[in-house]
Amino acid sequence: WGMGLTDISIIQYMTNVEVVSLSVNKISTLKYLAYCPKLTELYIRKNEVESLEELQHLQDLPKLRVLWMADNPCCTDENRQQILAVLPNLAKLDNIGVTSVESHETGTEQKRKKKSQRPKSAASVDSSYSDAESIIRKSVETPIINAIAALLPSLDLEGLYVVRSVIDKKIRNAERKVPECVINEN
């Protein structure tokens, strides 16, 4: 890094690249990184990225978990949530781990955006999210519940059926272990 690079167009041909370190350069666009589906870590701090809209080029990178983008003109301490809303799968942003609270907040924001963009046929799926979220809010907060809540908005209908099937099976198994008199009291 630190070579004064402005043109990274060559990276679009590196479709198997997993880690890219381009810090301390003069890069202003992230568009060529959109062609790197295996990218897991991107270090691009101290460059010349002017707009957070450049993050849209990273939205379809399913494996991207680490982004270090501090010290670009578009980055301030106040826009961490904006970045996480665009890239909700990040585990680490600017060398700081993403908390379960941040994940949940951005997941909720993503769900709202997706809900407004979905066709009417998906509305019933969204209502199950809100029901699940209200139950989760009432229950004791645990890391496992937080993780499940953060993942639910990203599931499609098939994924939701898989989760429901697993949960139903766990409930049936748990009910078999509980004495019948306890079950009948509820």
Q: What pLDDT score does 159 carry?
A: 76
Cβ neighbors of 81 (< 8 A, separation 6 or more) are: 102, 105, 106
What is the total residue count of the chain? 186
Q: What pLDDT score does 142 carry?
A: 58
pLDDT along the chain (186 residues), means of 10: 86 94 96 96 96 95 95 89 92 90 62 45 41 46 64 76 79 70 48
Give CA separation, 141 vs 13, 58, 100, 132, 174, in Å. 45, 31, 11, 13, 21
Q: What pLDDT score does 103 carry?
A: 72
Determine the 3-state secondary structure of 117 from DSSP.
helix
Q: What pLDDT score does 161 carry?
A: 76
Whole-angstrom distance, CA of residue 101 vs CA of residue 110: 14
What's at 103, amino acid-wise?
S
Whole-angstrom distance, CA of residue 152 vs CA of residue 35: 27
